[in-house]
Amino acid sequence: MSRRREAIRKAVAREAAWLLYTGQAHEYKMAKEIAAETLGARILPSNLEVALELDELADELEGPERAERLIAMRREALEVMRVLRPFWPRLVGSVWRGIAHRGSDIDIEVFCDKPEEVFEALREAGFTIRRQEVVEKQEVGQLVICHHIYLALPSGREAEVIVRPEVMRGVARRCEIFGDVVRGLSIEELEALLKEDPLRKFLPR
């Protein structure tokens, strides 16, 4: 790749990252297209390139408080996951990756064929459910129906609990942004991480 093309890709990735960070775009595809049009470029970076620029941008703008927030969010995630222990909870998303920024929420996957059982467990634990929705999506060659439950946490942050069918537990799927397998963290893995390396990032090498 020529230096000029590389510079253009980086500029588009940076602009797309800014759009995502400021909430002017919510999807990577849209952010890249708007960024390219704004800069008059025909070159689109990969989602991974945009994600890495977004991570750098958040570091520059948020300073030391970003690290403190990540640890706090991982601890909050652990509290929710302990309540959901019967449903094999797994921390995923930007808080798992270690790249959460000021506008990020906490993403937790659980596996259960009866979403109402997850609702009940959260209610009994005193969590406030803001809203819920059902999402249908093609994954690993099949249509998967997931229930998304959005929680208001005491800190003012939001957690999204994704209830996936039990048959999907253990099924490997690739991340649309990073291209690697979504592994996430179990309760025990998150507990160990918070003790040993609370700021660790999980990014493809």
- 142 bridge partner residues: 139
Confidence check: pLDDT of 158 > 90? yes
- Residue 143 pLDDT: 87
Order of strands, edge to edge, in the sheet holding 142-152?
Answer: 90-92, 106-111, 158-164, 142-152, 128-139
Alpha carbons within 13 A on the beta-carbon side of 181 = 5
Matching CATH number, 64-196, of 3.40.462.40, 3.30.465.10, 3.40.50.1820, 3.30.460.10: 3.30.460.10
**Amino acid symbol at 176:** E
**Stated pTM of the model:** 0.88
pLDDT tens string 159-186: 999 999 999 998 888 888 888 999 999 9
pLDDT tens string 18-39: 999 999 998 999 999 999 999 9
- Tokens representing residue 110 in the block: 């659980």
Residue 54: C-alpha distances to residues 59, 161, 165, 171 (Å): 9, 24, 32, 29
